[in-house]
């Protein structure tokens, strides 16, 4: 790994250097793993300090205000926001593993595809007709790029990524293993009203589905600049319009985004989220893990949805909601606390009922 001086690192990550800034480090690590003089343990809490390996490390990255044993380290970097500091620090230690530019002899690139000279394309990757791959892109092995797709500069497609036809990627898009963009949407129709439409008025199924006809997807998937999509996530193409994910949005592994969805800028979408078709998600929305969103729902800008929640109706901007069906956070907590209290409330009511019965018995008893 590359080696860095402590004072240089501090200035690069917006931290403050204390003690000997000339110390060199080559590996950020968990406190328990800090065995070498070149290690940089990350100590962001008293608990983490308790786990520190007693030998080895001469320097540490820590948080402002955390007390460390005097003399334990010869040099420190102190930061105000540890996780943000990590985002700046860790890239400096990434090994440079960019493959050599060029098309691997076992890749298949269509004669009409336009690939910038410095692009790297790995073995068994297929590039379709009329595809454009801009400068600086790296496509690992076993990637498929459908015809007429456009990849902006500096995109990184890891092994197993599948892009259907007409997918558009902005610049610096990162797609992790097996991301699938541009499959057909889950869109079907029946000649007569089927069970979904008919059962909306009662709790018994009122109609049957038959002769289910598929509605093909003619739209595209359009991904903005600096979007990152985690492994095994899928984004379906639009029916006639496009499915769009705007600039800066980050998506975790195993996320499903349905056809015609419009996702805003700088959203954070955690693992196992499922967004049904035609949803409008505003800018800077945060969706916790396993959130499910019903079709045609709109979430306003800056909405936060707590993990494992089910959203079936629109949510206004800036709201924090949780539960199924999702409610404003305070209401959700009241509901949880109410459920937790039920046993004790039942016991108290039982006790009161017993007392009332006792009072009634004593009232009915003839006075002596």
16-19/75-79 β-pairing: antiparallel
CB nearer to another protein: give 98 or 355: 355
Q: Does 329 bind another protein (CB under 8 A)?
A: yes
Q: Look at residues 192, 222, 225 and name the one whose alpha carbon lies nearest to residue 209.
A: 192
Tell me if residue 296 is catalytic: no
Residue of 334, 355, 357, 359 interacting with another protein (CB under 8 A): 334
Among the candidate windows 130-138, 186-194, 214-222, 327-335, which touches another protein by CB under 8 A?
327-335
* 360 contacts another protein (rule: CB under 8 A): no
Rank residues 50 and 325 by Cβ distance to another protein and give the closer one: 50
Q: How far apart are CA 214 and CA 207, in angstroms?
A: 19
Element (H, E) at 351: helix 329-364
Q: Is 32 in the site for another protein (CB under 8 A)?
A: no
- Does 64 participate in binding another protein (rule CB under 8 A)? no
Q: Which of 4, 110, 259, 296 is catalytic?
A: 259
The reply on whether position 256 binds another protein by CB under 8 A is no
Q: Which two tokens stand for residue 1?
A: 């790994």
Closest CA to 236 of 260, 215, 269: 260
Among 330, 346, 350, 352, binds another protein (CB under 8 A): 330
In angstroms, the CA 309 to CA 287 distance is 9
The residues pairing with 299 across neighbouring beta strands, listed in sequence order, are 281, 315
Closest approach, Cβ 10 to another protein, in A, equals: 25
Compute the distance between CA of residue 25 and CA of residue 38 in angstroms, rounded to an integer: 4
Shortest reach from residue 318's CB to another protein, in Å: 15
Q: Which residues contact 14 (CB under 8 A, 6 or more apart)?
A: 79, 84, 85, 88
Q: Which helix (H) or strand (E) holds 77?
A: strand 75-79
Is residue 83 part of the contact set for another protein (CB under 8 A)?
A: no
Choose which of 67, 70, 203, 344 interacts with another protein (CB under 8 A). 344
Which residue's CB is nearer to another protein, number 46 or number 240?
46
**From the list 32, 205, 336, 353, which residue makes contact with another protein (rule: CB under 8 A)?**
336
With beta carbons less than 8 A apart as the criterion, state whether 82 and 46 touch: no
Q: Binding string, 285-314, against another protein, x = CB under 8 A?
A: ---------------------x--------
Orientation of helix 82-89 relative to helix 6-13, angle to 10°: 110
**Can residue 214 be called a binding residue for another protein (CB under 8 A)?**
no
Does the footprint of another protein cover residue 204 (CB under 8 A)?
A: no
- How many residues bind another protein (CB under 8 A)? The answer is 15
d(CA 147, CA 303): 36
Closest CA to 318 of 285, 362, 366, 273: 285
340 contacts another protein (rule: CB under 8 A):
yes
Asked if 116 interacts with another protein (CB under 8 A), we say no
- Of 262, 320, 253, 325, nearest to 286 by C-alpha is 320
Write down the least CB distance from residue 338 to another protein, Å: 8
If we measure between CA atoms, which residue out of 314, 226, 325, 322 comes closest to residue 278? Answer: 314
Select from 81, 214, 341, 355 the one that contacts another protein (CB under 8 A): 341
Does 355 help bind another protein (rule: CB under 8 A)? no
Site for another protein in 117-156 (CB under 8 A): none
Does 354 engage in binding with another protein (CB under 8 A)? no
Tokens of residue 133, six digits: 């791959």
Task: Compute the distance between CA of residue 154 and CA of residue 191 in angstroms, rounded to an integer.
Answer: 47
Residues taking part in catalysis = 259
Chain residues in the site for another protein (CB under 8 A)? 46-47, 50, 306, 322, 329-330, 333-334, 336-338, 340-341, 344
């Amino acid at each position: 790994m590359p080696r860095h001086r402590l004072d240089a690192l501090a200035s690069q990550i917006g931290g403050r250097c204390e003690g000997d800034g000339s110390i060199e480090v080559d590996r950020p690590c968990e406190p328990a793993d800090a065995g070498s003089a070149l290690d940089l343990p990350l100590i962001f809490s008293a608990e983490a300090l308790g786990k520190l390996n007693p030998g080895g490390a001469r320097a540490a990255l820590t948080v402002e205000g955390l007390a460390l044993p005097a003399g334990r380290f010869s040099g420190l970097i102190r930061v105000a926001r540890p996780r943000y500091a990590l985002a700046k620090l860790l890239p400096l230690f990434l090994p440079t593993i960019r493959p050599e530019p060029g098309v691997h002899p076992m890749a298949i690139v269509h004669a009409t595809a336009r690939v910038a000279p410095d692009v790297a394309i790995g073995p068994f990757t297929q590039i379709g007709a009329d595809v454009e791959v801009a400068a600086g892109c790296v496509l690992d092995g076993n990637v498929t790029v459908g015809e007429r797709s456009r990849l902006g500069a500096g995109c990184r497609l890891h092994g197993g990524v599948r892009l259907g036809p007409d997918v558009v990627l902005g610049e610096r898009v990162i797609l992790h293993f097996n991301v699938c963009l541009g499959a057909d949407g889950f869109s079907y129709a029946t000649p007569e009203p089927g069970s979904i439409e008919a059962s909306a008025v009662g709790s018994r199924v009122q109609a049957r589905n038959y002769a289910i006809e598929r509605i093909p997807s003619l739209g595209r998937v359009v991904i903005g600049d600096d979007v990152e999509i985690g492994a095994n996530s899928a984004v379906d193409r639009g029916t006639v319009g496009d499915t769009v994910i705007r600039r800066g949005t980050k998506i975790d592994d195993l996320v499903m985004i349905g056809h015609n969805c419009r996702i805003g800028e700088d959203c954070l979408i955690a693992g196992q989220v499922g967004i049904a078709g035609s949803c409008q998600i505003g800018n800077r929305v945060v969706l916790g893990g396993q959130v499910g969103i019903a079709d045609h729902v709109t979430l306003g800008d800056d909405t936060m949805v707590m993990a494992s929640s089910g959203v079936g109706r629109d949510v206004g901007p800036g709201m924090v909601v949780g539960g199924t069906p999702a409610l404003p956070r305070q209401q959700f907590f009241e509901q949880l606390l109410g459920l937790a209290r039920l046993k004790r409330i039942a016991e108290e009511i039982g006790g009161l009922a017993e007392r009332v019965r006792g009072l009634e018995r004593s009232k009915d008893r003839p006075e002596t």
